[in-house]
Structure 1
Amino acid sequence: MRKNRYYNYLYVMLLGIIMLFFSSSIISGAVSEKPAAALTIAPQKEMLNAVAGGEVDSFVMVPPGYSPANYAPAPQEIRDFSEAEIYFSIGVPADIQNILPQAEELSGNLKIVKLFEAVDKKFPPRVFKDGGRDPHIWLSPLRSAYMVNIMAEELAELMPEKKDFFIKNADSYIKKIKEADRRNKKLLAKYKGEKILVYHPSIGYFTDHYNLEMITIEDHGKEPGPRQIQKIIDEARKENIKTVFYQSEIDSKKSRAVAEEIGGKVIQLDPLAENYLGNLTQMAEIMAETLSKRDDLK
């Protein structure tokens, strides 16, 4: 009996302590909500988080593993979207067709920042053979650094008291982009003018920046016909190309078919990796290794 009283007393005391803790937390303002920023694709998340330094929550509208060419947000994602204070739009097809229209309908307190428009004003946009705009701007270190600065300016406007903090963080992250870029340039310098064979034309900004030439199997979302595939195979054989690069979100059996025809292999790249800086370095290293093996066969 005494033991039961003891445990009852202990239970009441613990319950009281817990209630006191939560009530004091609420009174002191310990429970708070950070501003939320929506982003189009995963690579932007590392950029935004580096600038925000934990002061802003962030989420991505095109989840990892899905194509930025045609992804349409689910109703729950739109509800999450409606709670954001700001949206950093990057201008991929899924963004232009399916996300931005939703953002513009929400209006209200959601500020839309069209990064792609600002970038295209600062730097000439890359275009495909058919004249269409190449939307993969984040694979250009110069353009990414510019976007980071814009993010810092916009967050400073959202939270003026944190302006110096955001600017300092942006400068630090841009320094890291420049360091990665310098390493990549040094690594790829001796392969200037070499050709890279890819399925989907997603890495054109990257290859242009490092003075490489991109040959594509797919042409701006269009599947190649037999004549085009044969032309690509002939060029690959002529250039001694033994690797076809592809990405999991937009793949085709034709990648492996072409690789078999040239006696080569396929290697997966991930232009949409959230680990943006690490991925810039990894892509350069993979290409350098591939090109060095090509040199050995000459």
Structure 2
Amino acid sequence: MLKKIILILVLTYSFSSIDVVTTILPLTDFVEKIGGSHVNVITLIPPGANPHSYEPSPKQLQQVSNAKLIVMIGADFQFETIWLPKILKLNKQIQGCNTSEGLEKMDTLEKEAGSTSHHYSNIDPHVWLSIENAISMVTRIQDALILVDPENAEDYLQNSILYITELQSLQEELTQLRRESNQTSFLVFHPAWGYFAKEFDLEQHAFEVEGKEPSPKKLMSIIKEAKKERINTIFIEPQFNQKAAKTIARELGAKVVEMDPLAKDYIQNMRKVAFAVFGEK
């Protein structure tokens, strides 16, 4: 009987996982790729939710209170700025992993199509939309998991190496696709893709400026500028109104592509974005 109890305890310990909190789904993807069966991930912002207004449920906050690690974007991400102090009050023992630490941050650059002016606001928090940044973020997550769960360090290291290799292959694939493309700019509703644009030497045009939709006069100006730059794709996010984007698309003969910067499958999503901008092989 004693042997059975010991065996159960050993098996329970061997297969137990640690609770890890993430703020957004791309981070969940990273943590699951590195942590494998050793982690149970709780994502605070669910699919389709607006990160500017979402509030975690009581159930989520209860789960947070038992977690060992919280993996964050940092970079003045609004949701984290509001909720992190509350989370730390619930769980004073939780370790934090700021995945954007050490990365070069961009200002939120919002260029109105039809205008030569640029509007600078706060730091652009969408750092994960650069593959180079994502590789750095994965390494930080690896180190954080090893810190809170050193017994499984070897697995975390091996999983991290494998996933970084996948990200590097993706980067090479999309870089080659960029070389074969004549596209130099693209149009978005919400300016979330600045890091992607910078990595692949593109210019992102946004027709939402300072959170406001364009007036009819401004719409005509945007259409004129987009025609001049031969923009053939307009990116929209599921959290925002699509009416203005579809109006412009009809005038341009452009395709409208719904693209969520918060989509979970990082590699699939980045490839989808690149194919839409550059054109599939």
Aligned length, in residue pairs: 266
Could you tell me how far 1:274 is from its partner in structure 2? 1.1
User: Structure 2: how far apart are the matches of 1:196 and 1:25?
Assistant: 62
User: Structure 2: how far apart are the matches of 1:193 and 1:42?
Assistant: 29
Normalising to structure 2: TM-score of the pair? 0.86
Q: What is aligned with 2:30?
A: 47
- Summarize deviations over 1:150-182 as a string: whole Å, max 9, x none: 111111111122223212221221111010000
Q: Work out whether residues 188 and 210 of structure 1, in 8 Å CA contact, stay in contact via their aligned partners in 2.
A: yes
- Summarize deviations over 1:258-292 as a string: whole Å, max 9, x none: 222333331111222211112111211121228x9
Higher RCO (Cα < 8 Å, 6 or more apart): 2
Bigger radius of gyration = 1
3-state SS of paired residue (1:122): coil
User: Structure 1: how far apart are the matches of 2:219 and 2:89?
Assistant: 43
Which is worse superposed, 177-186 or 122-131? 122-131
Q: Work out whether residues 105 and 127 of structure 2, in 8 Å CA contact, stay in contact via their aligned partners in 1.
A: no
The answer to whether structure 1 residue 65 and structure 2 residue 65 are counterparts is no
Tell me which of 10, 19, 22 is aligned to 1:36: 19
Q: For residue 271 of structure 1, what is the amino acid of its counterpart?
A: P
Could you tell me how far 1:93 is from its partner in structure 2? 2.1
The answer to whether structure 1 residue 282 and structure 2 residue 272 are counterparts is yes
The answer to whether structure 1 residue 247 and structure 2 residue 237 are counterparts is yes
Tell me which of 181, 189, 192 is aligned to 2:171: 181
Could you tell me how far 1:28 is from its partner in structure 2? 1.8
3-state SS of paired residue (1:132): strand
Q: For residue 8 of structure 2, what is the amino acid of its counterpart?
A: S
Q: Work out whether residues 108 and 191 of structure 2, in 8 Å CA contact, stay in contact via their aligned partners in 1.
A: no
Q: What is aligned with 1:108?
A: 92
User: Structure 1: how far apart are the matches of 2:176 and 2:146?
Assistant: 35
User: Structure 1: how far apart are the matches of 2:6 and 2:202?
Assistant: 57
Could you tell me how far 1:148 is from its partner in structure 2? 0.6
Q: What is aligned with 1:10?
A: none
Change (3 A) 1:263 1:284: closer
Tell me which of 69, 75, 78 is aligned to 1:93: 78
Q: Work out whether residues 51 and 169 of structure 1, in 8 Å CA contact, stay in contact via their aligned partners in 2.
A: yes
Could you tell me how far 1:214 is from its partner in structure 2? 0.8
1:99-138 equivalences under 5 Å are 99-116=83-100, 118=101, 121-128=102-109, 129-138=119-128
Could you tell me how far 1:220 is from its partner in structure 2? 4.3
3-state SS of paired residue (1:271): coil
Structure 2's unaligned 5+ residue stretches are 110-118
Could you tell me how far 1:38 is from its partner in structure 2? 0.5
User: Structure 2: how far apart are the matches of 1:73 and 1:108?
Assistant: 18
Q: For residue 123 of structure 1, what is the amino acid of its counterpart?
A: E
Q: Work out whether residues 25 and 45 of structure 2, in 8 Å CA contact, stay in contact via their aligned partners in 1.
A: yes
3-state SS of paired residue (2:133): helix
Normalising to structure 1: TM-score of the pair? 0.82
Q: What is aligned with 2:226?
A: 236
Q: For residue 221 of structure 1, what is the amino acid of its counterpart?
A: G
Note the aligned Cα RMSD (angstroms): 2.3
Structure 1's unaligned 5+ residue stretches are 1-19, 293-298
Q: What is aligned with 2:113?
A: none
Higher helix proportion: 1
User: Structure 1: how far apart are the matches of 2:85 and 2:128?
Assistant: 22
- Identity percentage of aligned residues: 27
Tell me which of 65, 71, 74 is aligned to 1:82: 65
Q: What is aligned with 1:196?
A: 186
- Summarize deviations over 1:91-150 as a string: whole Å, max 9, x none: 4322222x313222224221222223x0xx332434322231111111111111111111
Q: For residue 289 of structure 1, what is the amino acid of its counterpart?
A: G
